[in-house]
Amino acid sequence: MVEVVTAAIATLIGVAFSLSTFERWLDKKRKHELAWATSLLMFAIAAFALALGAQMGWNPLLFKIFYLFGAILNVPFLALGTVYLQWGEKVGNKVASALMLSSCFAAGILLAAPITHALPVHQLAQGSKVFSALPRIFAGVGSGVGAMVVFGGAIYSFMRTRTTRFRISNALIAIGTAITGASGLLNSVFNAMTAFSITLVIGITVIYFGFVVATSAPKAPQPQLQTAPSQAG
């Protein structure tokens, strides 16, 4: 029951944060916000699949949806936002093109991949136990490289910019990414589904506040009105 509730909360938070970030993109058309909104939506889809699996039991299609959006694609799209923010549209557009192609390829491979062992109905399976090598390679490379980009962006921001806002933003995004990837540390206390749902809630929240800090420009000081000096007639 705890897994269902926390996963449902993670779903609602992910959807709300994704829509909020997408609204920011509609306002100013900054591409890092579109990438972040996409990543948050993927977090929400993975969390929704987790809630369904915890409530009704896992089946191959549901687990593949969870694995695709929760283990393969979401961190790379999160990293794409970092690339746009730190290195601009020219670099970001090239990375986005490569990411879209690899994402389509990964989705096709995963959907066609056989389940090598029976899925546990009421427990969250590990990819290493039910998939062959290729889907696991996509998950490892996507999450690993994506996390490295996020952490690298945080370090780059700290070293190259004097703007406190961007330093805090990238630090929060990096911390949130680390939290979402830290479910293994909770497995010794909770079962796997509880660990994933708890880290999704906390991680998504921290990441979103990193987005807010990055995209909330400080208010410009209001100009003071000056009265024209009177001229003696």
pLDDT digits (tens, 9 = 90+) for 119-135: 888 788 878 788 888 99
> With bands split at pLDDT 50, 70 and 90, how would you rate the model's confidence at 204?
confident
- Angle formed at CA 145 by CA 148 and CA 30, multiple of 5 degrees: 75
Q: Is the pTM of this model over 0.85?
A: no
> Cα separation of 79 and 132, whole Å?
26
Mean pLDDT throughout 83-112?
Answer: 93
Please name the amino acid found at residue 102.
S
pLDDT over threshold 50, residue 219: no
Q: Residue 227's pLDDT is what?
A: 43
CA 111 to chain centre: 22
Q: Residue 45's pLDDT is what?
A: 94
> With bands split at pLDDT 50, 70 and 90, how would you rate the model's confidence at 224?
very low
Q: Residue 105's pLDDT is what?
A: 94
Mean pLDDT over each residue of the chain, to the nearest integer: 83
> With bands split at pLDDT 50, 70 and 90, how would you rate the model's confidence at 222?
very low
Q: Residue 229's pLDDT is what?
A: 46
CA distances 233 to 27, 80, 99, 228, 229, Å, are 51, 66, 72, 15, 13
> With bands split at pLDDT 50, 70 and 90, how would you rate the model's confidence at 48?
very high
What tokens does 174 get? Answer: 């990096």
CA distances 187 to 6, 184, 212, Å, are 16, 5, 31
Q: Residue 106's pLDDT is what?
A: 93
What tokens does 202 get? Answer: 């906390």
Mean pLDDT throughout 64-70?
Answer: 92
Q: Residue 211's pLDDT is what?
A: 81
What tokens does 152 get? Answer: 């690298």
What tokens does 71 get? Answer: 């283990």
Q: Are 193 and 123 in contact (CB under 8 A)?
A: yes
Half-sphere exposure of 109 (CA within 13 A, CB side): 18
Task: Find, among 37, 64, 205, the residue nearest to 139 by Cα.
Answer: 64
> Cα separation of 7 and 202, whole Å?
11
Q: Residue 83's pLDDT is what?
A: 93
Domains recognised in the chain with CATH numbers: 2-215 (1.20.1070)
Q: Residue 156's pLDDT is what?
A: 80
Mean pLDDT throughout 178-184?
Answer: 73
Q: Are 32 and 82 in contact (CB under 8 A)?
A: yes
Query: pLDDT by residue (tens digit) across 20-42?
Result: 889 989 988 999 999 999 999 99
pLDDT over threshold 90, residue 79: yes
pLDDT over threshold 80, residue 141: yes
